[in-house]
Amino acid sequence: MARVKAEPYEFDFEPKTTALVMIDFQRNFVDPGGFGEALGNDVSRLRRAVGPAERVLKAARKAGLFVVHTREGHRPDLADCPPAKKARGKLKAGIGDPGPMGRILVRGEYGHDIVKELYPEPGEPVVDKPGKGAFYATDLDSILKNRGVRQLVVCGVTTEVCVNTTVREANDRGYDCLVLEDCVASYFPEFQEAALKMVKAQGGIFGWVADSARFLKALAGAVTGGRKAAAKG
Ligand code: TIU
C-alpha cells in the first residue's frame, strides 16, 4: 500500500489495483494548429501538463501500473456523432470537416492521435470515446474491472470537460480517483481552479487532488518498499 499526501486527505492506493488514466492528450487539443486552437483557445495552457504527465507516465510504467489512454473522436462516417454535438458552436470547421491536422475529431486522422511524448506503448489499451466521459459508450469499465482495478490516477485535458466528466463517471462506478493537478490542464485558468476544487470539496465528493511530485514520491516509496519486502520474504 502506498500513501500520497493529497487533498482533502491522504490517498492510499495499492499499485496492483491502480490504473493510470491518460485522458485525451491528442494533438487536436494540445498542439498549435489543432481543433482546440481553432476554437479560439490558448493551447500553451494545455502543453504545460505534458512534461509532468510524461514523468508520471514513465514512473508508472516502471512501477508496473496498468496504463490506459483515451481519445475523443468519431468514426469516419460520423454515425456515432450526435447531430447536436456536430451542430454545437455553429463552427465553420467542426467535427468531421477538414482541418489542418486532418478531419477534425475523426479516428485515424493525424490530429486525433496522441502527442508523441505520451504515446501509448504496446499493451496499454487505447479507448476511443465519442463523448466527454471515458465510460460513456466505451468498454473502459470492463477493461478496468477485468484487471481488478479499483483506483484511478488521472492525467489529461481538459480539466473541466473530459477529465471532470470522466472522474464523475468513475466515482459513480465505485472507483477512487486521484487527479494530479499539474498533469491536467484547461484553456481557462478559472475553470482549472474550480474544476479541481469541485473534485476535492465536501470531503472528496468526487475524489482526491495532489500534484505529480507527491504522487511520484509515493510511487517510488511503494516500489522500494515492495522490493524490500520481497527481499525479506
Ligand atoms: N477532451 C476534452 O476535454 N474535449 C474537449 O472538447 N474539451 C474542451 O475543453 N473543449
Nearest C-alpha to atom 4 of ligand 1 is from which residue?
162
- Check if the beta carbon of residue 4 is closer than 8 Å to that of residue 214: yes
Q: Which residues pair with 166 in a beta bridge?
A: none
pLDDT above 60 (res 194): yes
Phi, psi for residue 177 in degrees, rounded to 5: -115, 130
Nearest C-alpha to atom 1 of ligand 1 is from which residue?
162
- First and final C-alpha spacing in the chain: 17
Q: Residue 35: its pLDDT value, please? A: 87
Measured in Å, residue 203 CA sits from the centre of ligand 1 at 27
Whether ligand 1 lies within 6 angstroms of the CB of 158 is answered as yes
Q: What angle separates helix 212-232 from helix 50-63, to the nearest 10 degrees?
A: 10
Q: Quick one: average pLDDT of 142-166?
A: 98
pLDDT category of residue 39 using cuts at 50, 70 and 90: confident
List, for residues 66-113, the tens digit of each pLDDT value.
Answer: 999 999 999 999 999 999 999 999 989 999 999 989 999 999 999 999
- Check if the beta carbon of residue 19 is closer than 8 Å to that of residue 151: yes
H or E stretch covering 155: strand 151-157
**Residues 32, 41: Cα–Cα separation, whole Å:** 10
pLDDT above 90 (res 226): no
Locate 57 and state its grid cell.
Answer: 507516465
Q: Residue 210: its pLDDT value, please? A: 99
Q: Residue 223: its pLDDT value, please? A: 74
**Scanning the structure block, which residue is given the C-alpha cell 481553432?**
38
Q: Quick one: average pLDDT of 140-167?
A: 98
Whether ligand 1 lies within 6 angstroms of the CB of 159 is answered as no
**CB neighbourhood size of 47 (10 A):** 16
Please tell me whether residue 83 adopts helix, strand or coil conformation.
helix
Measured in Å, residue 197 CA sits from the centre of ligand 1 at 19
pLDDT category of residue 232 using cuts at 50, 70 and 90: low
Per the confidence metrics, is the pTM higher than 0.85?
yes
Atom from ligand 1 closest to the CA of residue 156: 1
Q: Which residues pair with 178 in a beta bridge?
A: 153, 208
Catalytic residues: 24, 129, 162
Quote the mean pLDDT of the chain. Answer: 95
Whether ligand 1 lies within 6 angstroms of the CB of 157 is answered as yes
Atom from ligand 1 closest to the CA of residue 24: 1
**CB neighbourhood size of 14 (10 A):** 12
Whether ligand 1 lies within 6 angstroms of the CB of 162 is answered as yes
| Angle at 34 (CA atoms; ends 51, 122), nearest 5 degrees | 55
Whether ligand 1 lies within 6 angstroms of the CB of 128 is answered as no
Closest C-alpha to 49, from 29, 65, 69:
29
- Check if the beta carbon of residue 8 is closer than 8 Å to that of residue 56: no
